[in-house]
Amino acid sequence: MKNLIIASTSTVFGGNYLDYLLDEIAQLFSETEEVLFIPYARPGGISHDDYTQKASEAFAKIGKKLVGIHTYPTTEAALKDAKGVFTGGGNTFLLVSQLYNFKLMQPLREAIFNGLPYLGTSAGSNISGVTMQTTNDMPIVYPPSFKTLGVIPFNLNPHYLDPDTTSKHMGETRETRIKEYHTQNSVPVIGLREGSWLRVRKEEIILQGNLSARVFEPNDEPFEVESGTDLAKGF
């Protein structure tokens, strides 16, 4: 019953907000004219209203109305009425904290498993995994749990960057950090590069976009999977 788009980013280099995904989004939400927006990640500290307005401008291009969940009397009523949900990017720690504070994590998970169309970008994609522990974000708040929706059987690292062999930067690469994660955890991690997304339909999890994705598993060397691969069939 699952029906999701899980995207690395909302904006590819040189493009406008969500432009590269609009055709896919229109198909995802083809059976509704109104989509519920969860703005809790607040990129750069933007307000819920301003974030909703920004996302609404993109959705208007495909004839869809976006309504912020914060404008409803209760989050329970908002989710109950929703025919589609979009969770935008920003800070994953803040997003997860708010989803728990509003008691939305489990109801949203159940709704997705029951077929509610879901779009996530960046932080909104992080929460589709088993946990949020492979986010790139700064821990600006302390969520009650790192456990997230678990609607896909692995974790994500959106905005995945390959090591730059010409750089003089001596800090950790994404690959180093994910390998460090696997010294303490066993959940596989998919590094999603910019402009890539996962299209989830029922039990399929198809990598989409022009780029490959990088797969990390504990005690194994990372490897690439090509666009078009069904990640639900294993790696």
Domain spans in the chain, listed from the N-terminal domain onward:
3-233
Which stretches of the chain score pLDDT less than 70? 168-171, 235
Q: Give the residue numbers annotated as catalytic, written as ranges.
A: 122, 137, 159
User: Interhelix angle for 92-101 vs 105-113, to 10°?
Assistant: 90
181: helix, strand or coil: helix
- CATH topology for 3-233 is Rossmann fold (3.40.50)
Percent of the chain's residues with pLDDT above 90: 92
Give kind and range of the element (H or E) at residue 155: strand 155-157
214 Rama sector, left if φ>0, alpha if ψ -120 to 50, beta otherwise: beta
Q: What pLDDT score does 113 carry?
A: 97
Q: Which two tokens stand for residue 97?
A: 């904290």
Q: Which two tokens stand for residue 225?
A: 């999977």
Residues 6+ apart with CB under 8 A from 177: none
Residues 6+ apart with CB under 8 A from 218: 182, 185, 186
Q: What pLDDT score does 163 carry?
A: 80
Over its C-alpha atoms, the chain yields an Rg (Å, rounded) of 17
Q: What pLDDT digit, counting tens, does each position of 143-177 carry?
A: 999 999 999 999 999 999 988 777 766 668 999 99
Q: Which two tokens stand for residue 230?
A: 């069904």
Please, what is the average pLDDT of the chain?
95
123: helix, strand or coil: helix
